Each structure stands twice: as C-alpha cells, then as structure tokens.
C-alpha cells in the first residue's frame, strides 16, 4: 500500500511524523486533516501476486507510481522515501523521508490508515488469522492460523511461513 500527498505550503497540520511512530488514534485524526487539507491525495497498491512475482520492494515502488499517477493534480517534484519511482517527474529520494518531509509523512499516514481499514474488512472474512489485531504481521497467533487453516488468497506465497507450509503440502 502506498499513498501520494500534495500538501499546500501552509497546511497547518501539527503532528505529522513517521506513521510507525504514531498510535492508531493519532493516525486516524491526522488522516482526516491530511485528506481535507491536501491539494491532492491518492492511494496505490501492489497486489499479492505482484509482490510474489517482482518482490516486495519493486511492488512497493509500483504502488507508489500508481498513487502518483492517480493524483488529481500533477506534482512538480516527487519526494520519495528512500527510493525513486519510474515516472518522468523530477524526484528526490530522502533516507528516513517520513521523518524529514511533511508530504512523505502525510502519505505514510494515509497509506497506513487505508491499509489498516482494509485489514479490518479482511478480518471479518478471515477471522481465524487475527488480521484486525496483528495488521498482517507474522505473530504467533497468525502463524498458528496458517498452520491450522493454510494460507488465504491474501497471503504472499513468498512469505516464509507460507512457503514452508507449501513445501510440506
């Protein structure tokens, strides 16, 4: 999951930071402000089969490109967290960008809130996996569900616990 956000110079949003450093309630609060004050914002995603085929980094870059291509306004410059993406727009890759750029932090927050909402929906479809609680990370509960029920269509076949299951199938 990735997002692209174009913020106005004077956005007035306090508390923008790396989404991993914010609790869920603060991300939700900021998500509303970001989407209401942004010049433009969009979501892009890499699908499970794409991650398995081209690897998670390349699928992340693809999701970023899709987000930028979906913006209602075209940016003059892309600030990207730690990498560049295949678009003919001037770009600057910023290491730890979500801590250095309000736009990157905003995109990180919007993407994480969207992903967490999606995981809540999937949790109702696949309740045994605890997706609403573990956010798709390989917790002991999640791994136990994989052992008992096998992978869902949402699981990456290249995810080590899934790959191990399929070796013994």
Average the pLDDT over 83-109 and give the result: 97
Q: What is the CATH number of the domain that holds 113?
A: 3.30.420.10
- Whether 8 and 74 map to the same domain: the answer is yes
What pLDDT is recorded for position 159? 85
Percent of the chain scored above 90 by pLDDT? 84
Residues 13 and 49 in one domain: yes
**Over 80: is that where the pLDDT of 169 sits?**
no
Q: In this model, does residue 166 exceed pLDDT 80?
A: no
131 and 120 inside one domain: no
Distance of CA 11 to the CA centre of its chain: 23
135 lies in the same domain as 121: no
0.75 exceeded by pTM: yes
Q: Are residue 16 and residue 78 in the same domain, yes or no? A: yes
Give yes or no: residues 82 and 134 share one domain.
Answer: no
- Same domain (yes/no): 118, 133: no
Looking at residue 167, what is its pLDDT? 67
At 135, list the tokens.
């956010």
Q: What is the pLDDT of residues 132-143, one digit of tens each?
A: 998 877 888 888
My answer on whether 116 and 155 are in the same domain is no
The model's pLDDT over 151-164, given as tens digits with 9 standing for 90+, comes to 999 999 988 888 88
For residue 116, pLDDT beyond 80: yes
Q: What is the distance between the alpha carbons of residues 101 and 96, in angstroms, rounded to a whole number?
A: 9
Domain boundary among 90, 110, 125: 125
* pLDDT of 45 strictly over 80: yes
Structural domains in the chain (count):
2
Mean pLDDT of 39-56: 96
Q: What is the 3-state secondary structure (H, E, C) of 60-90?
A: HHHHHHHHHHCCCCCCCCEEEECCCCCCCCC
Give the model's pLDDT for residue 137.
Answer: 79
Residue-number span of the structural domain to which 69 is assigned = 2-125
Residue recorded with tokens 């699981």: 155
Report residue 117 as tokens.
């909402």
Q: How far apart are CA 72 and CA 27, in angstroms?
A: 23
Q: How far is CA 25 from CA 19, 76, 153, in A?
A: 11, 32, 29
Helix (H, G, I), strand (E, B) or coil at 146: helix
């Amino acid at each position: 999951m990735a997002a692209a956000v174009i913020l106005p110079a004077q956005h007035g949003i306090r508390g923008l930071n790396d989404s991993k450093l914010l609790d869920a309630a603060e991300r939700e609060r900021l998500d509303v402000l970001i989407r209401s004050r942004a010049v433009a914002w969009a979501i892009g995603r890499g699908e499970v089969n794409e991650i398995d085929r081209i690897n998670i980094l390349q699928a992340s870059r693809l999701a970023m490109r899709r987000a930028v291509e979906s913006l209602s306004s075209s940016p003059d410059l892309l600030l990207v967290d730690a990498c560049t993406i295949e678009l003919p727009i001037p770009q600057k890759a910023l290491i730890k960008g979500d801590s250095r750029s309000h736009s990157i932090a905003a995109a990180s927050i919007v993407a994480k809130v969207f992903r967490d909402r999606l995981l809540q929906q999937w949790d109702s479809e696949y309740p045994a996996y605890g997706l609403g609680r573990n956010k798709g990370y390989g917790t002991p509960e999640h791994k136990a569900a994989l052992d008992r029920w096998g992978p869902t269509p949402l699981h990456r076949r290249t995810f080590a616990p899934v790959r191990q299951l399929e070796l013994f199938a």
